[in-house]
Amino acid sequence: AVKLNPLQPQIPLRFARHFAVRDPATAFQFLHAVDYSDGNEDETRRLTGQALEIAWQADRRPDMLWTVTPDTGLGLMTLADFALGKGLSKLAWQACNQASNRVADLERARCFLRAGYPAEATNAIAAIAADPQARLLVIEAALRAGHYAEAIQLGERFWQTSHWKHSLVQPFVRPE
């Protein structure tokens, strides 16, 4: 079906959904035939999510999810999100790790944080440590790791170097 009509990736997904419980091997054959190459990021994320859901129905082994995940940054991040939704934090960590040099460091760091790996989140943004969003993420990672004193110090340092630093020390007073 895919070879005859490659513009409709829903066709193999529908067949895969039909066979997911009855014949998982056939379902995976259809899942492997899904074409993710239309270039639309939202559509690719949606299709990948559907394929992962069907694969999970057919076989609850996390390693089987890798076989239907596109080998792209978007595919890996979609796998990480799916894994987190299913409580598979180790699989999410693996997907975030594989996304190195394929997605922005900040996106990978957020993925590591959501998966419960604050040290990896901090390591992922080492190259962009001066970026304000990266600095805030480091503070969040310290909090999640239980390093409260460090998080407070980092937060104070961040606040003192921001352009809002005077608003806390000297609150805004409306001129009369």
Q: Which residue has the higher pLDDT, 38 or 167?
A: 38
The pLDDT of residue 171 is above 70: no
- At 52-87, the pLDDT tens digits run 999 999 999 999 999 999 999 999 999 999 999 999
Q: Taking a C-beta distance cutoff of 8 angstroms, is the pair 22, 37 a contact? A: no
* Cα-based distances in Å from 120 to 87, 100, 152, 170: 18, 12, 20, 37
Separation CA 30–CA 125 (nearest Å) = 38
Choose among 123, 124, 161, 118: nearest CA to 139. 118
Separation CA 8–CA 150 (nearest Å) = 52
How high is the pLDDT of residue 156?
A: 87
Percent of the chain with pLDDT over 90: 68
How high is the pLDDT of residue 1?
A: 41
- At 98-133, the pLDDT tens digits run 999 999 999 999 999 999 999 999 999 988 878 888
pLDDT averaged over the chain?
88
How high is the pLDDT of residue 167?
A: 62
SS3 35: coil
With 0-12 / 13-18 / 19 or more C-beta atoms within 10 angstroms meaning exposed / middle / buried, residue 37 is exposed
- At 4-16, the pLDDT tens digits run 554 577 889 999 9
Q: Taking a C-beta distance cutoff of 8 angstroms, is the pair 124, 112 a contact? A: yes
User: What is the rounded average pLDDT of the residues 152-168?
Assistant: 78
Predicted model pTM: 0.82
